[in-house]
Amino acid sequence: MPFLYYHSPTKRNLKQILEQSNVSRGEYHPGHLHAIVNETDHADWIFDDFETGSVIESIAQEIGAVIYHMPRPDNSVQALLEYGPHFNYDMVHLSERGHASIAQGVAGLLRSMNVSKSNKINKHLRK
Residue 126 inside a domain? The answer is no
Vertex 7, ends 83 and 36: CA angle to 5°?
A: 50
Residue 123 inside a domain? The answer is no
Residue 125 inside a domain? The answer is no
Instruction: Please count the structural domains in the chain.
Output: 1
Q: Which of 74, 117, 70 is nearest to 98 (CA)?
A: 70
pLDDT 10s digits, 23-42: 777 777 777 777 777 777 77
DSSP state of 5: E
pLDDT 10s digits, 47-101: 665 555 678 888 889 998 888 888 777 777 777 778 888 888 777 788 899 999 9
* Confidence check: pLDDT of 107 > 70: yes
Residue 31 inside a domain? The answer is yes
Residue 97 inside a domain? The answer is yes
The range of the structural domain enclosing residue 8 comes to 2-112
What pLDDT, on a 0 to 100 scale, did the predictor assign at position 50?
54
Task: Compare 35 and 110 and report the one with higher pLDDT.
Answer: 110
Separation of CA 45 from chain center: 15
Give the pLDDT mean for 2-27: 72
Residue 124 inside a domain? The answer is no
Residue 77 inside a domain? The answer is yes
* Confidence check: pLDDT of 1 > 50: no
What pLDDT, on a 0 to 100 scale, did the predictor assign at position 121?
60
CA-to-CA distance for 21 and 43, rounded, in angstroms? Answer: 20
Residue 60 inside a domain? The answer is yes
